Chains A and B, each alone.
Chain A
């Protein structure tokens, strides 16, 4: 994504490169990966923007308009059926995204990418008539990579299936996508003002994802579009959703793209839309990535600093050698503690995940109990023979909403947990670094800077949790949305005959049959809920386990880096105490120069 000041990214990249050279120079290859990760993110800050709205409002046309190419299938009748992820790639390609069933056993679960020919995208993405899933059972979505200047900056557009009224299963799926995206584009058309259902959906989506852009499409067709835009703006303000409202015409955009008519392009409203996406969404993301990279460089500098400052303390005053070595030994014990399973952060993480597992489980069970009660009440009031089709749909929608509620609970709690774990680790490790540095009065970091970096790290922990969730979330809602109540059908319906004949005296018989059907229906609902809750429970357990593993790996790696810094410092301090005065004097000049360079880099990273 283009940033308003591209120089900032370049400067940060240069700082990270310096940090990498320092790691190589001081033989700290263990610090290299974290800087490399930061550098990769700088080069490609991925920004996920999810496009949502009711069906047939022109979402796919909007995505095509942004890309300037017909990528998503557009049809007067058939709607989009599965989410489509569009990202930059040098060569066009397409893959099916499936949750990896095998991966759960060993490593981190990821979505499997199963390559498919580009020609098949249309079939895979479009909604299929009932009963034909077109070979996409269990598919989480479709990913299309293509070379596009709009996506080149790391923008990932996600086209979602249209929401057919609030409470539909697709609505939950769209919200699930929104919950892990950086921004939300809500699409409606100029034919009318927002309906109740649209506004409800938007309010809910706003809670999942705070950056919202509202786009009104088809303005070439409706003379009253300015009024509709105004009404929509008012509705958004009233609902407390703050975000820009833009009006576009995909038809004009397509014409402009094929004829190269700039004025038409301006009229289509797409230039403004692109700008808003770059400004509000892209810049935020870039700013964050820059801040994160700089913090990484500072953290690396601190580690290197610690390594040299102990040595310097001994070189400057050999009398202190004993004290310094003793102190470093004490630090080593503490760092080892930090690494061990008994450390506070590790216990917090273990306990937290345990608690979360049972709480989330309990939450889901409580939710499904309510659904079952409601379903039972509804079944008792009606004859399942008439209402079963609707019942099935209602159940699907209701269940996916409860699942979404459950997932968002998991998301909030997991994020909070990762913040707490991070804080515990920081308070223990910050202490460690400071104690090493004590011997040298020059190494004092200004108080507010510490505050700033802690803030950033807290933000980082939250962001990290989101990224992990995005990777770990198995998409069990899609299981409900795309699956059906397989294997559950009501038994042979014998009631039809009574209705056809309409004889008197059949009332009691009808009643008896009706009750039998009701029992059957309740059992079917129960069975369905069991099935879904099995999948969902497994999914959230797996998700949490992945989160746990990733957090543990992350902080263990940090602890190991500290240990290494400490060991280096200890080695250098011991060596220093064994040198003679002349060597010490010479070495002191070198070490001071090294420290100067490290601190200069640290300062540059803080700028």
Chain B
């Protein structure tokens, strides 16, 4: 491995291009932006078709009700949510200076006053909010694709799919699906369609959102959603476009993260009713609001409860309280969070992206550099392009991503078990040695090291065997490097 880290090499190259060939050109500002971005948290965009539950999921990930959610289409402006020391909301108009906006919280929901700005004229909103959930990522909420307003759709598209003159806004995308739709595949393709390691299933993850609705709100709906997600994840079209498919009941997660004692009391009130009455009450949304007048909660409160939990959430929560699975608000929050699938999503994001954040940020930076040198050649840009390609070709992290991409895209053929192992070894299921080796997470270093050596030998044989297909052989050499890296890493660790 090289002495300098990937981040250092990338930063150095971008710095030299800003100071050298591109100094004083119209691209200088763009490249300076790239440089600054290398030191910022990873940018994660949440994208999907209209009403897929993007804002709800964002709130669930942040743990606060920041993004507005409503029955109609409501996210019309691309909005960035970043961690910071103070609370601050700014609008960046397409033309003109950035403007600070007034905001307030009403009923726990953030309300932003656009101050007379036309949403169509706002490039993006930037919300700075001290929140644990934003510590390592900047979350980007986008308008829905397939909106009846063509302009709104276009805005989401612009924000996510880079052109030659625009940078890839996000390093990683969480794509929300309700069901696998032809438009979804198009979108994912366009997102991954970039010069390096294309097409790229490496920086996208799919979420089967509104998981509670897939099973029409039945109590086993989440189990059903898990089954659907597992099936969708094996579709070749999906495999080559995203890393993983995770089912998430966004509303459940959002509510769990922000559950109040008053809400728990109301749920407990339902649980206290007898079984027959509860069944009558929970038959439909209309019945929930109008029937069982003996239950003291008023229509307005009932509607609010529906908005917060959904019929499924109320069914689930009241059942848990009735069976004493949850006895207080914190218990219920934990239970709901556990069932919402958002923790699995967090874990997936962490294993697949956050632990490799340097690679992803450098990837975004090098993509921009590639676009700049291609579209705005200047004297000396050839060298920059060559050096960028050199980094891309030599850094092991990128090589791993490419093998991953190639296996998922079906370019490498071989025995399925060998391909699956290769995918795991280059970090397709997580980057810790245990995850790579598919070993027991509790195994100690010595055991892991022994296992790594066995695997290493197997892949060395595979690489040298004349029976191994050409492409698999090439991939095998990269797998071997990953194994060697693991062996070295495990030997360094104090045991």
Contacts and interface: CB of A to CB of B under 8 A. Distances in A.
B241 to A, nearest CB: 10
Interface in B204-255: 210, 213-217, 221, 224-225, 227-228, 231, 235-237, 240
Given A227-B72, A504-B393, A55 B216 contact: no
Interface string A62-76: 000000000000001
Contact of B285 (A55, A225, A235): A225
A500 B402 contact: yes
Given A220-B311, A221-B311, A499-B402, A267 B227 contact: no
Contact of B147 (A76, A196, A223, A227): A196
Nearest to B310: A221
A220 B311 CA distance: 9
B232 to A, nearest CB: 8
B303 A223 contact: yes
22 contacts: A56-B179, A76-B228, A164-B181, A165-B181, A165-B182, A168-B182, A191-B213, A197-B146, A219-B285, A220-B311, A222-B71, A231-B72, A389-B237, A393-B185, A495-B411, A496-B471, A497-B471, A499-B406, A499-B411, A502-B398, A503-B393, A504-B389
Sorted nearest first, the 10 A-B pairs with minimum C-beta distance are: A496-B411, A220-B284, A224-B71, A192-B51, A165-B182, A502-B393, A77-B228, A76-B224, A164-B182, A223-B285
A220 B214 CA distance: 14
Interface string B167-192: 00000000000110111011001000
Interface in A249-272: 249, 251-252, 255, 264, 267
A386 interface: yes
Contacts of B434: none
A390 interface: yes
A164 B215 CA distance: 19
Interface in A181-230: 191-197, 199, 218-225, 227-228
B474 A500 contact: yes
B362 to A, nearest CB: 15
A170 to B, nearest CB: 9
Contact of A220 (B178, B240, B285): B285
A78 B213 CA distance: 15
Contacts of A77: 214, 224, 227-228, 231
A501 interface: yes
B153 interface: yes
Interface in B325-352: none
B89 interface: no
Q: Which residue, of B51, B312, B386, has the highest number of chain A Cβ atoms within 10 A?
A: B51
Interface in B40-79: 49-51, 71-73
Contact of B284 (A195, A199, A267): A267
A493 interface: yes
Interface string A154-171: 000000000011011000
A130 interface: yes
Contacts of A54: 181
B199 interface: yes
A497 B470 contact: yes
A235 to B, nearest CB: 7
A177 to B, nearest CB: 19
B150 interface: yes
A195 B311 contact: no
A249 B412 contact: no
B234 to A, nearest CB: 9
A165 B235 CA distance: 18
Contacts of B297: none
Nearest to A501: B474
Contacts of B213: 191, 221
Nearest to B180: A164
B393 A55 contact: no
Given A193-B148, A496-B471, A267 B286 contact: yes
